[in-house]
Amino acid sequence: MSVESKKVLYGLYNDEEDLKHAVKVAREGHLDIMDVYTPFPVHGLDPILGLKESRLHILGFIYGSIGAIFGFLFMSWALAKDWPILFGGKPYWPVPSFIPITFELTVLFSAWGMTLTFYTICGMWPGVKAKILDNRISDDKFCIAFDITQAESRMVSGLEDFFKRTGASEVHEKII
């Protein structure tokens, strides 16, 4: 994510079906969509936009595995090797009682790992200002945005025409 500000042309739609149709038209016309904003997840939008499956969950599995191995080995080292303690007449290495904590650490590592990775990828560091195009995209509007920082005026009017043709209720320009 670049820090420089962008000039964005965006259109608002009232219905997700209109939005899906508009995205399809844009893709057929080889228009370079910057992003699409919706107030809720719209099923079937990803393949129309041509988005690839996220690989975040693969990392989640790796983080979880690290957590499981770390948790189990740490407990084994601490309670059986470094300072052996007998609990409730159980052996020095009571594997069943390690399982719940191993599970918890698996979840903890994979949740924190995935969250931090996600924030890093999205550039969501502490102190970052949110770039909001329009407040209503978290309420009832569906938005398609184009980056027109370097676009010629002929191109911009073409995009405005596209919004009109596909039934956008409003078209705005904004620098974010």
Partner 1 sequence: MNLNTQFVFDSKLKRNLIIGMVVGALCLVWSAIGDDAFYTRFWSNYLHNAVFFTGIAFTAMFFLSGQITAFAGWMVVIKRLWEAMSLFMLVGIGLLLVVVIGVWGHLHHLYHWNMPGITDPSSPIYDKVIAGKAGFLNPVFFTVGTVGFLAIWYFWAYKLRQNSLAQDKYETPSFDYYKRERKWAASFLPLGGFLSTVFLWLLVMSIDPHWYSTMFAWYSTVSLFLGGLALFILLVLYLKAKGYLEYVTRDHLHDLGKYLFGISIFWTYLWFDQFMLIWYGNIGEETIYFKERMENYPILFWGNLVFNFVTPFFVLMRNSTKRKVGTMFFAALIVFLGHWLDFFYMIKPGVRLAAQEAIELSEGAHHSSLDGQLKHHGKDLTQHVPHALAAVGSASAAEQGHHSTAPSKEHQESKETQTSNHPTSADGHAPIEEHVTHASAAEQHHDGDKQENGHSSGFQLGYSLPGFQEIGVLIGFLSLFLFFFFRQLERAPLLPLRDPYLEESLHHTTGVYLEEEEADSVSAHH
Residues lying near partner 1 in the complex (CB under 8 A): 20, 24, 41, 43-44, 46-48, 52-53, 61, 88-90, 96-97, 99-100
- Shortest gap between Cβ of 9 and partner 1 (angstroms)? 26
Could you tell me which residues come within 8 angstroms of residue 64 by beta carbon, excluding any fewer than 6 positions away? 106, 107, 109, 110, 113
User: Closer CB to partner 1, residue 46 or residue 173?
Assistant: 46
String of DSSP letters for 46-105: HHHHTPPPP-HHHHHHHHHHHHHHHHHHHHHIIIIIIS----TT--SS-HHHHHHHHHHH
- Supply the minimum distance, in Å, between the C-beta of residue 18 and partner 1: 14
Rounded to whole angstroms, the Cα distance separating 99 from 85 reads 18
Instruction: Report the residue number, 49 or 176, with the smaller CB distance to partner 1.
Output: 49
Q: How far is the CB of 140 from partner 1 (least distance, A)?
A: 20
User: Cβ 48 to partner 1, closest distance in Å?
Assistant: 7
Residue closer to partner 1 (CB basis): 44 or 126: 44
Nearer to partner 1, 41 or 127 (CB): 41
Which single residue is written with the structure tokens 């016309």?
A: 29
Per DSSP, the three-state class of 64 is helix
